[in-house]
Amino acid sequence: MHISGFTYIRNGFKFGYPFLASINSMLPIVDELIVVVGDSNDGTREAIVNLKNLKIKIVDSVWDENLRKNGKIFAQQSDIGLNQVSGDWAFHLQIDEVLHENAGEIIFKAIRKADSNKNIDGLLFPFLHFWGDYNHIRNTRRTHQYEIRAFKNTGDIRAYKDSQGFRDFSKKPRGEKLRVIKTDTPIYHYSYARHPQLMKKKDNYFHRFWHNDSWLKENINESEFNYNEVDKLEVFTEEHPVFMTEIIKRKDWDFRYDPSQSNMKFKDRILNGVEKATGKRLFEYRNYRLVNEK
């Protein structure tokens, strides 16, 4: 069985993405890795070339900054990579997502199981969302617990909305949710784990892909990103993927979590209490159809 990986990146160093860690974590589980590299000016493309891995195929792209509604540019870049995959299965990581070095066998086993079942389209992965630093995670109703990161390469599955997930567009204009089974290996998501000044720089720039100029003029400022403007965080005490070792060693900021600054809404406090008591997250949005395994 042939597994194709795909991802996209632009100016990874400039905005502090752990893109080399992400790429290196994918390489052991894929037979080829399509990396769509946007028009960068910070050495991102050169760093990927310097990995000198024969599995990697770079596809150059130019970002159309006029695609400024609902993050469409990200779905477009994802689909550029997806159009190049040749495998029976497609495996995707966003460039701030990293796999643990021991994830391979678990993923292979899940793919083999799903591949033999015509009623299953893909695999659902749990997420660890790091926030503020590498010692805190955000696991609330404002984050997605699970998302699709591997699926059968039918030719009809494409990125949905801003490429957070995927749908089958063979029959409906808005696509059909994929039928999936869960895996046990998490995706380590480092989107909000960087120096607060760099986080603000990244945040300010990427807002343009969701908002118009008038919104940007009113809302953009140059202050440091305040990681304590958050609903709730939990302490993370487990190991990170080995691919993140050097990045974590280079951490050059301090974050002290202050739960008294929580901005959790009253409704979410109630629902969070229900989830803690029952283990069930009520009214959660799901961009997938979970298949009950027997």
pLDDT at 59: 98
Rounded mean pLDDT for each run of 10 residues along the chain, 294 residues in total: 97 97 98 98 98 98 84 93 97 98 96 96 98 97 94 96 91 94 96 96 91 87 92 97 98 97 92 86 89 72
Domains of the chain: 1-294 (3.90.550)
Radius of gyration of the chain (CA): 19
pLDDT at 294: 52
For residues 242 and 185, give the distance between their C-alpha atoms in angstroms, rounded to a whole number: 15
> 178 with 157: CB under 8 angstroms?
yes
The tokens for 201 are 């720089």
pLDDT at 293: 62
Closest CA to 206 of 37, 71, 76, 96: 71
pLDDT at 68: 73
pLDDT at 71: 85
The tokens for 176 are 């059909």
For residues 279 and 224, give the distance between their C-alpha atoms in angstroms, rounded to a whole number: 35
The tokens for 119 are 């009623």
pLDDT at 285: 86
The tokens for 11 are 């100016």
CA dihedral 104, 142, 244, 102 (to 10 degrees): -20
